[in-house]
Amino acid sequence: MFETTQVLFAFNSNHMEGSTLSVEQTSDLYTTGSVSPADGMDAIRLDDAIETRNHFHAFNWMLDRVDLPVDDAMICSMHAILKRGTSQEQDPDNNVGAYKARPNVIGGLLQEHTVLPADVPAAMGEVIAAHRELKDDPFSIAFAHWLFETTHPFFDGNGRVGRLLLFKELLRIDAMPMVIQDRNRGLYVRGLREFGRTPGYLIDTLLAERDVYRGIVETMAPDRTSYTYHDAWDGVVARRIENPYLKHAWDELDIFGACGDGAVPGPPMRGGVRGRA
C-alpha cells in the first residue's frame, strides 16, 4: 500500500507538471534507486529523475509530521525538499525553499494572475487557516486547495506542494485522501479555473479521485484502515468564493514594486520552467 501510493503519487503529480518519466520508470526509481531510458527515449532529463526521487522524500517527510499543525516553515520545507539538487536550486530567481520574489502567472490556467509576492505572506495566512480548519466536507477540501493554488506562493512547484499539503491534511483529520491523476489533468485545471464561479467542477473532480484512491485502499488493505469520507455538499454556497489577496490585473507599480527599488523587472514568470506548477 505504501509503495503503491508513493509511486502513483510521485508519477501523477510530477507528470502533470511535465515530467517525462513513465509509471514504470517511477517504480524502478523507487525500488532500485536507478532508472533507464524507455524504448524510443534517447535520454532521461536529470531534473525529472531528481524531482521524482525528491517527491518520495517529501512524502516520507510529510508523513512524519502528519499530525503537526501546518505553518509557513512546513510548507517551505516541503518545497525545499522537492527542489533539492535540481537545476532550479542554484538560480536565485527561483527562491527555492522560500516564497516567490517575482510575480508569476499560471500557464495551465490560461495565464491567470496569482497573488503578488508582497501579498504572499498575508495570503498564506488565509491558506494555512483554511487547511488547519479543514473538515471532511467536499467544499472545504476544494476551497483550501484552490486557495493555495491561486496564491501560488512559490516560483515553481506549487501544484506538487499543494497536493502534498492536501494529502497531509486529509490524513490529519482521518479522512480519505486522494492522488490526482495526470489523465484527469484537464478536469482538474478546469476545476481550479472555474472554482470561484462554479465550485462543482473542482469538487466533483476531487471526489472522483477520492473514490479511486478509496478503491485502492480497500483492495490492498481491506478492513485495516479507518477513515471518514463524506461526499455530500450543499450546492448553494452562501458566501462569496474569493482569494482576498488576488488581483486580476496588475499595473506597473505591482510589477516594479515586486522587484525592489530601481530594479528593472522582466515579464512575469509563467509558473517556472516550462510553465510547470
d(CA 113, CA 102): 12
d(CA 208, CA 181): 10
CB 79 within 8 A of CB 161: yes
CB 78 within 8 A of CB 165: yes
210 annotated to a ligand binding site: no
159 annotated to a ligand binding site: yes
160 annotated to a ligand binding site: yes
235 annotated to a ligand binding site: no
Of 15, 55, 145, 152, catalytic: 152
163 annotated to a ligand binding site: yes
102 annotated to a ligand binding site: no
Environment class of residue 264 by beta-carbon count within 10 Å: exposed (0-12), middle (13-18) or buried (19+)?
exposed
User: Is 145 an active-site residue?
Assistant: no
d(CA 98, CA 117): 11
179 annotated to a ligand binding site: no
**Residues of the binding site:** 156-163
Show which residues are catalytic: 152
**Residues of the binding site for ATP:** 156-163
